[in-house]
């Protein structure tokens, strides 16, 4: 396992579209699928692919058990969205004695995320000049199941300051530095995740029902 990468899992979403589910103070991260909270499932998958795991959570948000060695930090800008949380995670990683080059970033609602997909995306970043490696599933960029170069933290901060989110970061970077963006096709991923299950997310109660019955569509990002 290479020490040039870190995993950043975003746990602090407000879960507004999960109305009707008893999510409690833990939010979406605490929703249970197959006997385990969503956050725990995602963290265990990411931890198999990287040597260090950072969880970015909302202030006061209770968290389920996490893999040993996980580091938990709290959003510096509550309710500012996932890109702000990613910036917090990257800045925390940069303070390590040996700062990583890349970060896999994943939201906490990817219960079928496969470690081999995390490894594949990291390897794609290492093998190219790309600074943002983003899967394209069903025509939609999966910006919260992606790899970013850790030195993008200042650029991310600038997008956050303008009120933008992850998709704005992708568009800005692709517009200014096309070679810095590597879009990974579904075909490239099919060999390691035939059903592309790693990209199935839980946004609504209906999503959870579809997942439980295995009748779900690909995530729309």
Summarize pLDDT for 25-38 with one digit per residue, the tens: 678 888 888 889 99
Summary count for the chain: helices (H), strands (E): 7, 10
The alpha carbon of 56 is separated from its chain's Cα centroid by a whole number of angstroms, namely: 10
Tell me what pLDDT residue 220 has.
40
Average pLDDT over residues 115-119: 98
**SS3 of residue 152 by DSSP:** helix
Which residue has 């997909």 as its token pair? 117
55-110 pLDDT, tens digit each? 999 999 999 999 999 999 999 998 889 999 999 999 999 999 999 999 999 999 99
The alpha carbon of 176 is separated from its chain's Cα centroid by a whole number of angstroms, namely: 23
Tell me what pLDDT residue 216 has.
44
Tell me what pLDDT residue 219 has.
44
Superfamily of domain 5-213: Spore Coat Polysaccharide Biosynthesis Protein SpsA; Chain A (3.90.550.10)
Tell me what pLDDT residue 207 has.
76
Element (H or E) spanning 86, and its range? helix 82-94
Burial 76-86 (b: 16+ CB within 10 A, else e): eeeebbbbbbb
Q: What does the block give as tokens for 63?
A: 């968290």
HSE-up of 48 (CA within 13 Å, CB side)? 12
140-168 pLDDT, tens digit each? 999 999 999 999 999 999 999 999 999 99
Would you list the domain boundaries of the chain? 5-213
173-200 pLDDT, tens digit each? 999 999 999 999 999 999 999 999 999 9
Closest CA to 197 of 122, 125, 137: 137
pLDDT band for 13, please (50, 70, 90 cuts).
Answer: low
């Amino acid at each position: 396992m290479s020490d040039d990468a870190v995993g950043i899992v975003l746990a602090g979403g407000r879960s507004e579209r999960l109305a009707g589910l008893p999510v409690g103070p833990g939010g979406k991260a605490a929703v249970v699928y197959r006997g385990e909270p969503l956050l725990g499932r995602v963290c265990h998958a990411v931890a198999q692919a990287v040597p260090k795991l950072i969880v970015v959570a909302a202030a006061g948000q209770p968290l389920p058990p996490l893999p040993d060695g996980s580091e938990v930090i709290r959003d510096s800008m509550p309710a500012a969205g996932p890109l702000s949380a990613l910036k917090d995670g990257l800045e925390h990683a940069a303070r390590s004695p040996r700062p990583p080059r890349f970060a896999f970033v994943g939201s906490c609602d990817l219960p079928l995320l496969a470690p081999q997909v995390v490894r594949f995306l990291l390897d794609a970043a290492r093998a190219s000049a790309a600074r943002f490696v983003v899967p394209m599933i069903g025509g939609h960029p999966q910006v919260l199941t992606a790899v970013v170069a850790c030195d993008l933290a200042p650029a991310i901060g600038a997008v956050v300051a303008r009120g933008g989110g992850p998709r704005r970061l992708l568009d800005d970077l692709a517009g200014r530095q096309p070679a810095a963006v590597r879009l990974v096709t579904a075909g490239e991923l099919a060999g390691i995740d035939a059903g592309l299950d790693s990209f199935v997310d839980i946004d609504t109660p209906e999503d959870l029902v579809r997942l439980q019955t295995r009748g779900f569509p690909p995530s729309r990002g």
